[in-house]
Amino acid sequence: MKRTLLLGLAFAAQAHLSLAQTATPPATPQYRPAYHFTPAAHWMNDPNGLVYYQGTYHLFFQHYPEAMVWGPMHWGHATSADLVHWREQPIALFPDSLGYIFSGSAVVDSKNTSGFGKNGQTPLVAIFTHHDPKGDKAGTSTFQNQSLAYSLDAGKTWTKYAGNPVLKNPGIRDFRDPKVSWNEATKKWVMTLATKDRITFFSSPNLRTWTKESEFGEKLGAHGGVWECPDLFPLTFNGKTHWVLLVSVGSGGLHGGSGIQYFVGQFDGHTFTPSSTQTRWVDQGKDNYAGVTWANTGARRIFQGWMTNLEYSGQVPTSPWRSALTIPRELALRQVGQDVWLAAQPVAEVNKLLQPGSTTLQNLPVTKELDLSSRLPGLAGAGNRFQLKLSTKQLAGFSLVLANSRGEELVIGYDQPTNAYYVDRQKAGKADFNDKFAGRYTAPRRATIPAADLTLLFDASSVEVFADNGLTVMTELFFPTEPFSTIKLRSDAGLVVSDLAYAKLVADAK
């Protein structure tokens, strides 16, 4: 987990931690997502070890199973057959004499390079950071090291490698979050590791012995906080392979606090070379952090992030759990002018959640205000759990206003003078738990064509906005005191909505 979280946030203060361990606030089922993964109870942060194997998606996550605030880290575990229905499993990895189990990744070692497989068994291997809290408290610089665990029963149970750690700290306080993948060009495993203010690449033929290859990023990108939770992967665009490097920061994000930046470039198995030094963000909203991609999913590159911001992650008003993950998103590269951008869309499996009775409206002229409430059946009883899609042939300034009987409003829209999408949650409900929560957050529109499309996924206390085929993406939390029951479109400029589709979304897995 994050040193910034441990040192910089009020909720980690000992007095608060002690209180939270003994007292659980009243339950808030109205804020429990229906189709985003949350633990049944207690604290969750970074997604870890995302790996697909033999028909099952294995999602591991940073977890403290004794309180609703950060504590000694474990690897929680959940499984799914389709990325949208999740079943929580027993904890996979517990803290031990080497320390807490911090973030990392998992791979399918199909060639048994590690030697962990027996009698033809294929090992799943988890690579994670061992964090020694005693060394941290003592002020040493070698308290984070990289270790292994393996599973020979398709991810059900895990055995820690007796030779841990496999990559010892050379003297860097922030030395963590290994993301490992097989590099076919060099026939080696590549580890992308966060090392304070940069990324360091290591290689290994067997996952046990590691050699340093190169460093990247000391003077590039956002450095408001130490670099964290990296990921490196290829994407093919127009017949050419590009490499994408994700890097999270605990502070200095686009809207303050945490966020995920990315670089597009080339990787030759040893060195990453960016094609642009511009700082870009995976998500232009306030609440997406520490995200990484799934392993072993073939041609699909599926991303999932921690849906919160470090500024208030330990204070959001949910109980008896705290935190959810974003919906899994399929990543792709898209070109606008001479620039290549990372785009994201909800995975197609979200369509499995669509409920009967969906509504499609066409050719809706919006002059000043159009109340859609009576034309979208079931909106009042949906509990903020629905999908809304709209498209227009000529984008103009507009706002989509969700409101309830208490005068609370969540506003999502497009501001034409600044050419930016926005989410305004200033009046969307509870916000007094942290003075940095309420706000109006904007995201530049990347598309340059007149037509536009938006997909909005609402799930109890969150909205994910995917605009222009995923070129602009925003993730925002909100906590109304009662669900929104009305929905209106407003446009002073005049907007014609070509198509508007509404459907309730429900999942049954918890």
- CA–CA distances in Å: residue 205 to residues 23, 149, 177, 199, 216: 49, 17, 20, 20, 22
The answer to whether 56 touches 79, Cβ cutoff 8 Å, is yes
Backbone angle region of 112, left / alpha / beta, with phi > 0 → left and psi within -120 to 50 → alpha: left
Closest CA to 377 of 501, 480, 489: 501
- Could you tell me the two tokens for 507? 């999942």
Look at residue 30 and give its three-state secondary structure. Answer: helix
Residues whose CB falls within 8 Å of the CB of residue 234, separated by 6 or more in sequence, listed in order? 241, 242, 243, 244, 267
Catalytic choice (46, 231, 287, 468)? 46
Q: Are the beta carbons of 504 and 317 closer than 8 angstroms?
A: no
* Residues 384/460, Cβ–Cβ less than 8 Å: yes
| Long-range contacts at 306-310 (CB < 8 A, ≥ 24 apart) | 306/44, 306/45, 306/46, 306/47, 307/36, 307/462, 307/475, 307/477, 308/45, 308/477, 309/253, 309/256, 309/257, 309/258, 309/436, 310/2, 310/4, 310/5, 310/8, 310/9, 310/250, 310/251, 310/257, 310/258
Q: Among this protein's residues, is 46 annotated catalytic?
A: yes
Question: With helix as H, strand as E and coil as C, how does 367-421 read?
Answer: EEEEECHHHCCCHHHCCCEEEEEEEECCCCCEEEEEECCCCCEEEEEEECCCCEE
- Which residues are catalytic, by number? 46
